[in-house]
Amino acid sequence: MELTARFTNTYDGEEHVHDEILALPTPTSVDFDEDLQEWSEDHLFPLTGDGNAMDRDAGYFVEILACAECPTLVGREFAWGI
């Protein structure tokens, strides 16, 4: 499925934001039962970061902005780090 996601990488309070159009596997009903945590860790988390946090506090955030094939994803947010 195709989706648009906003990635916000935060390093010591400094935000780096960019949007990406991605082709990812569609979550299954089991993924939704598990609140999408494993799906997001498998498919979104590896796309976070931009190499600026090698020795800094970091937080990684992803918000789903658009997804025609799975509209229930739109507005979902995922976070890792701080």
Task: Give, for all 82 residues of the chain, the pLDDT tens digit.
Answer: 999 999 999 988 789 999 999 999 999 998 888 889 999 999 999 999 877 666 778 899 999 999 999 999 999 999 998 6
Residues whose CB is less than 8 angstroms from the CB of residue 32 and which lie 6 or more positions away in sequence, other chains included = 72
The single-letter DSSP state of residue 77 is E
Provide the residue count of the chain.
82
**47 phi, psi to nearest 5 deg:** -95, -5
Nearest residue to 16 (alpha-carbon basis) of 62, 66, 64? 62
| Contact assessment for residue 9 and residue 16, using Cβ atoms and an 8 Å cutoff | yes
Report if pTM > 0.85: yes
